[in-house]
Chains A and B, each alone.
Chain A
């Protein structure tokens, strides 16, 4: 079994990260009744004997003593990290795995990337190496950050290059929160485009998330909860937004519910690697199956169900509804409509009491309404994990490599150009050592090249699907 390390950068990254660790503990507590430190838990947690001072305290087997998250927390302001360290999760984090500063990045990618990058490079390397040493077999780094700010965006992407150089064999999965149109950070288009170039070049796989989509999903859930349909009640713990474990405070801050959705995404992504099932899917299989060309590594994700009705006996119809929902544009975590765009590849990761016949039935049913690229007409990757998430009897995570990400990127470029044409706020960036106008130009061309790749793929949609002539051989 392999281990993964989570690197959470910036305010957004750390807040999501916090939700993730809370949910991960809850999930493992539900599955692992006997309190034995097993391989599933070890994928994200170390077992430490807290009586031992220094580093020697790792316990590899036996009863759980004290769990420490395999995480590195980075923020250039102290507020968020301090809150985490004073909150109910304080014992889960190793105080040596933090890197903080006081001044913040001022929503400036250049400050995050160039200034703090240079300043903290050594420390970052040291913490990463340490966390890798604690792992038996490190497979993956999960980086969580936002694109629109300064720290998450700048320092978060600086990290990617460091990881690529230092640990070339380890996968880099990045969960990136993209700014929505009404973002209140004026320079978010600059930050996002500069960060995109780094994601294009140094990430193995990116899961873009949009705040607006998360917000819409929450509104939908609230509507369902409050509408109180006759004869059904929603199990409170089963909301994909809920963090109703004992660990968090009672009242929820506005972003909490949204962060929980992302945390659930990461848990479901890794479930088949951690728990048993009849058709396992490891993290390295995600990249293998969903990334046909190295640059096209942006995956649109959707999670269902968003809630479970209290009716325990789930008949087949509801199970099928779960599959249908996964493809609806309302369930996607970015604003995208995969059904009306072109699929390059699609993965369905199912958890819980679902068998291969259910999977096949639904694939057959949904296939006709989806358009797959000519050379991958049956491009499905599936996995079945026996352990359902907490509060559900089954769940589905769909990952799609689909041209529907294109509009998000095009809009971003649009917003960028509007600012850049007027040279608005540019001086904040150019005054940083190492930043020149060419950095901006390169970043835009990188994005434009990516958009062009998607355009070319989309162009094949109108062409008829023909079989290519085969090799002719002499018998």
Chain B
């Protein structure tokens, strides 16, 4: 099952490169801590998912690179080619000259329709190279103009053209104190549009990753390269092949096949299961959690703590809300590693903060003329606010 990656904008392309590099490095790592046969199966599975084969043997990433100005794509292509180990397809890029000017409206309303055909064709080419398409992985930031605006437009298109395939968007949450002044506007417009067309939003906050670099890794002068590498490492540990719980002998067929979409029961139904005594101590309620274990002793690991009902909402029993994937094959030379993917209230505070700041700015009408110039009206903003307030309320009520 293959995944087609779409890298959008400066952020998307910079991160995309690091992700493919991390995936490649890990799959070709000699110390898998498992049998040779096991290692080979792992490698083959990873390769099928993320790379296609070329005549001279250099794997080509299953990716489409999109940016509205050429500098970053050129850099990304050359970095990949320089490594000599893997590369991007020669005709997998779409590039323009002018950029989106950090303007969501420009990315969505101008670049989107203008370049829809070309970009969708590139994606179609990539899809046709896959024996079996699992879904799309779209990497974008929320703060700028291309990743955010064009990203929202493309995701919508993917929903229309490939409604049976899973679409997962990797969203980069900007630093709280400003990379872009209109980042809050761009963020709420992005999120509200993606909510309608994406299947899953995987979020990484720049602030959080920055803290990891500073506190856990002790890097003195942190660069975006450091941040992107940590991110890629995390994504790699989620996307590399694993066995599903049923203990089958094949690597999990659909890597993105987590049942992300849950709906709360209609009100009036009784709550399920017992209420755990630990409930008073909780600060973060989850809808669902996925733990991925790799390396030594995975089969004997004790995950009881994750099954505590106190962690979950009352209307979803832990047996449905909690999943484990395991493989003995170690990730990136770590003897033991674990990854947690969580659908919980974790993002409630950041989301609430962004909506609040955007709302304050919107009340003063600052910068709105930059958006109305390209067809995004005040009404569109209000629709976005409404949708996101509903999301905030839903998560709050867990």
Cβ–Cβ < 8 Å partners of B223 in chain A: 278, 355-357
Closest chain A residue, CB of each to CB of B363? A468
The CA-CA distance from A344 to B367 in the complex, in Å, is 11
Chain B contributes a number of interface residues (CB within 8 A of A) equal to: 53
20 pairs across A/B with beta carbons < 8 Å? A2-B98, A2-B99, A39-B71, A136-B97, A137-B97, A139-B98, A282-B101, A284-B98, A291-B367, A293-B365, A356-B210, A357-B219, A367-B177, A376-B366, A380-B178, A470-B389, A471-B389, A473-B386, A473-B390, A473-B393
Closest chain B residue, CB of each to CB of A294? B369
The CA-CA distance from A14 to B111 in the complex, in Å, is 37
Q: Is A423 located at the chain interface by the 8 A CB criterion?
A: no
Q: Is A391 located at the chain interface by the 8 A CB criterion?
A: no
| CB neighbors of A among B167-200 (8 A) | 175-182
Cβ–Cβ < 8 Å partners of B222 in chain A: 355-357
Q: Is the CB of A288 within 8 A of B210?
A: no
Q: Is A83 located at the chain interface by the 8 A CB criterion?
A: no
Cβ–Cβ < 8 Å partners of A276 in chain B: 71-72, 75
| CB neighbors of B among A182-228 (8 A) | none
Q: Is the CB of B224 within 8 A of A475?
A: no
Q: Is the CB of B69 within 8 A of A282?
A: yes
Q: Is B103 located at the chain interface by the 8 A CB criterion?
A: yes
Taken residue by residue from 250 to 276, chain B's Cβ proximity to chain A (1 for < 8 Å, 0 otherwise) reads as 000000000000000000000000000
Q: Is A345 located at the chain interface by the 8 A CB criterion?
A: yes
Q: Is B102 located at the chain interface by the 8 A CB criterion?
A: yes
Q: Is B5 located at the chain interface by the 8 A CB criterion?
A: no
Cβ–Cβ < 8 Å partners of A473 in chain B: 386, 389-390, 393
The CA-CA distance from A381 to B97 in the complex, in Å, is 22
Q: Is the CB of A380 within 8 A of B389?
A: no
Q: Is A379 located at the chain interface by the 8 A CB criterion?
A: yes
Q: Is the CB of A289 within 8 A of B181?
A: yes
**CB < 8 Å: which of B70, B176, B180, B220 contacts A381?**
B180
Q: Is the CB of A280 within 8 A of B71?
A: yes
The CA-CA distance from A136 to B70 in the complex, in Å, is 13
In angstroms, how far is the closest chain B Cβ from the Cβ of A270?
Answer: 13
Taken residue by residue from 279 to 291, chain A's Cβ proximity to chain B (1 for < 8 Å, 0 otherwise) reads as 1101011011111
Cβ–Cβ < 8 Å partners of A384 in chain B: 224
Closest chain A residue, CB of each to CB of B10? A280
Known: A137-B97, A293-B369, A360-B175. A375 touches B71 (CB 8 A): no
Cβ–Cβ < 8 Å partners of B219 in chain A: 357
| CB neighbors of B among A245-285 (8 A) | 276, 278-280, 282, 284-285
Closest chain B residue, CB of each to CB of A466? B360
The CA-CA distance from A136 to B385 in the complex, in Å, is 40
Q: Is A378 located at the chain interface by the 8 A CB criterion?
A: yes
Taken residue by residue from 88 to 116, chain B's Cβ proximity to chain A (1 for < 8 Å, 0 otherwise) reads as 00000000011101110000000000000
Q: Which of A355, A364, A377 has the most CB of B within 10 A?
A: A355
| CB neighbors of B among A288-337 (8 A) | 288-294
Q: Is B357 located at the chain interface by the 8 A CB criterion?
A: yes
The CA-CA distance from A471 to B145 in the complex, in Å, is 26
Q: Is B164 located at the chain interface by the 8 A CB criterion?
A: no
In angstroms, how far is the closest chain B Cβ from the Cβ of A8?
Answer: 24
Q: Is B214 located at the chain interface by the 8 A CB criterion?
A: yes
Known: A278-B224, A360-B210. A293 touches B102 (CB 8 A): no
Q: Is B221 located at the chain interface by the 8 A CB criterion?
A: yes
The CA-CA distance from A152 to B214 in the complex, in Å, is 52
Cβ–Cβ < 8 Å partners of B75 in chain A: 276
Question: In the complex, which range does the number of interface residues on chain A fall in?
Answer: 35 or more
Q: Is the CB of A278 within 8 A of B225?
A: yes
In angstroms, how far is the closest chain B Cβ from the Cβ of A304?
Answer: 19
In angstroms, how far is the closest chain A Cβ from the Cβ of B188?
Answer: 12
| CB neighbors of A among B54-106 (8 A) | 69-72, 75, 97-99, 101-103
The CA-CA distance from A364 to B175 in the complex, in Å, is 12
The CA-CA distance from A2 to B70 in the complex, in Å, is 10
Q: Which of B181, B360, B370 has the most CB of A within 10 A?
A: B181
Q: Is the CB of B99 within 8 A of A285?
A: yes
Tally the A-B contacts, defined by beta carbons under 8 Å. 143
The CA-CA distance from A375 to B75 in the complex, in Å, is 37
| CB neighbors of A among B319-356 (8 A) | 355-356
Q: Is the CB of A292 within 8 A of B367?
A: yes
In angstroms, how far is the closest chain B Cβ from the Cβ of A139?
Answer: 6
The CA-CA distance from A376 to B366 in the complex, in Å, is 9
Q: Is A433 located at the chain interface by the 8 A CB criterion?
A: no
Q: Is the CB of A287 within 8 A of B390?
A: no
Q: Is the CB of B356 within 8 A of A470?
A: yes
Q: Is the CB of A357 within 8 A of B364?
A: no
Closest chain B residue, CB of each to CB of A281? B102
Q: Is B227 located at the chain interface by the 8 A CB criterion?
A: yes
Q: Is the CB of A376 within 8 A of B214?
A: no
Q: Is B397 located at the chain interface by the 8 A CB criterion?
A: yes
Closest chain B residue, CB of each to CB of A316? B221
**CB < 8 Å: which of A288, A380, A471, A475 contacts B102?**
A288
The CA-CA distance from A292 to B213 in the complex, in Å, is 34
Q: Is the CB of B103 within 8 A of A288?
A: yes
Q: Is A1 located at the chain interface by the 8 A CB criterion?
A: yes
Q: Is A358 located at the chain interface by the 8 A CB criterion?
A: yes
Cβ–Cβ < 8 Å partners of A382 in chain B: 178-179
Q: Is B394 located at the chain interface by the 8 A CB criterion?
A: yes
Closest chain A residue, CB of each to CB of B382? A471
Q: Is the CB of A279 within 8 A of B178?
A: no
Q: Is B361 located at the chain interface by the 8 A CB criterion?
A: yes
Q: Is the CB of B182 within 8 A of A289?
A: yes
Known: A356-B227, A357-B214, A468-B360. A282 touches B99 (CB 8 A): yes
